[in-house]
Amino acid sequence: MDQNERKPRVAETTFRVRFAETDQMGIVHHAAYVVYLEEGRSELSRQFGASYAEFERTGYALAVTELSLRYIAAARYDNRITVRTWIEQIQSRSMTYNYEVVNEDNQLLLVTGMSRHICLDESGQVRRIPHEWLEGIKAKMYLD
């Protein structure tokens, strides 16, 4: 099976919209979704056995180089939402993630997104993603 035909492994994390994330009308502020996507990436790393916190402790970081969101429907205060996250592409120095944010109760698609990241060392220089971390992610990014 071609790598492009393989189904990606999707990590899910579910939580309630907090009051502080909403505007005067009780609708989630557009900027809050960026934080939601970050939580999705962190959960994906944990589920893949490749903690991002541990990655940073080794002196590396994945800096965001591109971010896009498509807002489809509104989430509101106290809604249960699920962030679905998967890796679209991984290369020696970069990773691309895709996202869906859905209302957990009715499965309404709220937001889709994409983010690209580049691996940096502590001095801010572009580096290869450490081999062990890269291979660990690659081994788990598709369903068997």
How do residues 82-126 score in pLDDT, each as one tens digit? 999 999 999 999 999 999 999 999 999 999 999 999 999 999 999
Q: What angle do CA 70, 9, 111 make, to 5 degrees?
A: 15
Instruction: Quick: pLDDT tens for 23-43.
Output: 999 999 999 999 999 999 999
Q: Which domains does the chain have, with CATH numbers?
A: 3-140 (3.10.129.10)
pTM of the predicted structure, to 2 decimals: 0.93
Lowest-confidence segment of 2-6, 73-77, 87-91 by average pLDDT: 2-6
| Beta bridge pairs of residue 99 | 85, 113
> Which helix (H) or strand (E) element contains residue 115?
strand 109-121
**Would you please indicate which residues are annotated as catalytic (active-site) residues?**
23
Which conformational region is residue 71 in: left (phi greater than 0), alpha (psi within -120 to 50 degrees), or beta?
beta
